[in-house]
């Protein structure tokens, strides 16, 4: 049990370190307001988690600090100029409703950040999908003068993406601050997979599902451009790393996790292709909760069957051993 707790804390620390690098890039493009937004989300989540745990008559432990990584994931999915009150409400929803009402940290069924994002999308969709341009830094309590749609929205509707590969790698295009820093996300994915802090199977499945259909049924005439832009838009890479590959939610075995991620990647791509649904992968990851639960139940049945079989083999060997001794 102690070994499991330590592993959980190490995973949380790994995830937090990569998220902080994304937050630093967000600060570079959008200024101090993006940092304050993250602080609002994290502090609200901590308060909500503390109150929830006390109401459940449990003690707050270091393992419960995972609420901060969920809050930071949420903050990086929101526009840097998002209203603080909406961000606070979203953080409370992610911890109280999406997490603790549905089983808490031990029995989590879907990503709190993803569920909260869907909640904000249904309640404040217009504010959620409007952004400032990179390098436009807005005051802490100033309403932004000019808001634009994301580059993902433009690509989904028109099939055009007017940014160079260098700008794409550095995240110099409009969209959720955490989801546009493509180079950092690739590095984070490699580091987290190497340290087994995310599900390797789920990540590869989501990327492969998106990439395969982007080539087979391209959004634009060029298959290469379809592949490239499908992976860097609509939060595909960000969600693949921090939502779909969350080890608390994805199936444990890479084989099942791969198909779990694969289904999400395919369905979300189809929604983008047919309905130009922006950031569809986040919505699909929440809707595919039954799939993850189904795979986990299958894994438990296999583990129990294997355990029973091993016990039977051990009994037979023990009986045979006694017979030989006799």
Tokens of 110: 């879907």
Structure confidence by residue, pLDDT tens digits, 49-105: 999 999 888 888 877 889 999 999 999 999 999 999 999 999 999 999 999 888 777
Q: What pLDDT, on a 0 to 100 scale, did the predictor assign at position 95?
A: 95
Same domain, 86 and 193: no
In a shared domain, residues 118 and 185: no
Residue 159 lies in a domain: no
Q: Indicate if 143 and 257 belong to the same structural domain.
A: no
> Is 166 among the domain residues?
no
- SS3 state at 148: strand
Residues 7 and 144 in one domain: yes
8-state DSSP, 160 = -
**Looking at the structure, do residues 89 and 185 belong to the same domain, yes or no?**
no
**Residue 92: count of CB within 10 angstroms of its CB:** 19
164 in any annotated domain: no
In degrees and rounded to multiples of 5, residue 148 shows phi and psi of -130, 160
> Is the residue at 169 inside a domain?
no
188 plus 276 within the same structural domain? yes
Statement to judge: residues 133 and 250 lie in one domain: no
What's the pTM?
Answer: 0.91
Could you give the CA distance from residue 137 to residue 33 in angstroms, rounded to a whole number? 8
Look at the chain and report how many structural domains it folds into: 2
| C-alpha to C-alpha distances, 175 to 121, 224, 227, 237, 313, nearest whole angstrom | 15, 22, 19, 13, 57
Q: Are residues 123 and 217 in the same domain?
A: no
3-state secondary structure 63-115: HHHHHHHHHHHHHHHCCCCCCHHHHHHHHHHHHHHHHHHCCCCCCCCCCHHHH
Distance from C-alpha of 54 to C-alpha of 205, rounded to nearest angstrom: 39
168 inside domain: no
* Rounded CA separation 285/281 (Å): 6
The pLDDT score that the predictor gives to residue 324 is: 58
One digit per residue, pLDDT tens: the chain, 326 residues? 445 555 888 999 999 999 999 999 999 999 999 999 999 999 999 999 999 999 888 888 877 889 999 999 999 999 999 999 999 999 999 999 999 888 777 778 889 999 999 999 999 999 999 999 999 999 999 989 899 999 999 999 999 998 999 999 999 999 999 999 999 999 999 999 999 999 999 999 999 999 999 999 999 989 999 999 999 999 999 999 999 999 999 998 898 999 999 999 999 999 999 999 999 999 999 998 878 777 777 777 777 777 767 767 767 666 666 655 55
Pick from 101, 104, 49, 102: nearest CA to 71: 49
Distances (CA, A) of 238 to 48, 98, 139, 279, 302: 25, 20, 27, 10, 32
The pLDDT of residue 35: 97
Residue 137 belongs to what domain range? Answer: 1-148
d(CA 84, CA 80): 10
- Residue 9 included in any domain: yes
Q: Given this model, what pLDDT does residue 297 score?
A: 75
Within the chain, how many helices (H) and strands (E) appear? 14, 0
120 and 237 belong to one structural domain: no
The gap from C-alpha 326 to its chain's centroid, in whole angstroms, comes to 61
Residues 14 and 135 in one domain: yes
Residues 211 and 279 in one domain: yes
Q: At which of 101, 125, 148 does a domain end?
A: 148
156 lies in some domain? no
Residue 30's CB is within 10 A of a number of other CB atoms, namely 23
Residue 325 lies in a domain: yes
Q: Taking the alpha carbons of 259, 261, 263, 269 in that order, is the dihedral positive or negative?
A: negative
Residue 209: the pLDDT is 97
What's the pLDDT score for residue 8? 80
The pLDDT value given to residue 302: 76
- 130 and 237 inside one domain: no
128, 120 Cβ separation under 8 angstroms: yes
């Amino acid at each position: 049990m102690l070994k499991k707790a330590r592993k959980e804390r190490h995973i949380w620390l790994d995830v937090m370190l990569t998220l902080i690098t994304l937050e630093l890039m967000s600060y570079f493009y959008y200024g101090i307001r993006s940092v304050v937004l993250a602080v609002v989300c994290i502090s609200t989540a901590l308060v909500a988690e503390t109150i929830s745990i006390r109401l459940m008559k449990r003690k707050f432990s270091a393992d419960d600090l995972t609420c901060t990584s969920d809050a930071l994931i949420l903050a990086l999915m929101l526009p840097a100029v998002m209203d603080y009150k909406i961000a606070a409400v979203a953080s409370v929803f992610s911890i109280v409703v999406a997490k603790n009402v549905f089983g808490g940290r031990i029995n989590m069924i879907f990503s709190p950040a993803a569920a909260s994002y869907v909640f904000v999308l249904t309640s404040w969709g217009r504010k959620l999908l409007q952004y400032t341009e990179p390098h436009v830094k807005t005051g802490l309590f100033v309403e932004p003068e000019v808001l634009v749609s994301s580059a993902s929205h433009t690509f989904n509707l028109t099939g055009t993406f007017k940014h160079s590969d260098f700008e794409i790698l550095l995240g110099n295009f409009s969209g959720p601050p955490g989801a546009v820093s493509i180079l950092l996300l690739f590095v984070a994915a490699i580091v987290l997979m190497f340290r087994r802090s995310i599900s390797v199977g789920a990540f590869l499945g989501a990327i492969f599902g998106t990439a395969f259909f982007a080539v087979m049924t391209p959004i634009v005439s060029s298959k290469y451009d379809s592949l490239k832009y499908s992976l860097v838009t609509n939060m595909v890479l960000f969600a693949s790393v921090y939502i779909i590959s969350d080890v608390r939610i994805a199936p444990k075995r890479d084989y099942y996790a791969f198909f779990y991620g694969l289904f999400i990647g395919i369905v979300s791509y189809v929604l983008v292709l047919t309905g130009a649904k922006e950031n569809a992968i986040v919505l699909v990851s929440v809707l595919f909760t039954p799939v993850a639960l189904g795979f986990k139940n299958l894994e438990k049945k296999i583990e129990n069957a294997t355990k029973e079989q091993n016990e039977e083999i051990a009994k037979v060997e023990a009986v045979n051993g006694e017979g030989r001794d006799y």
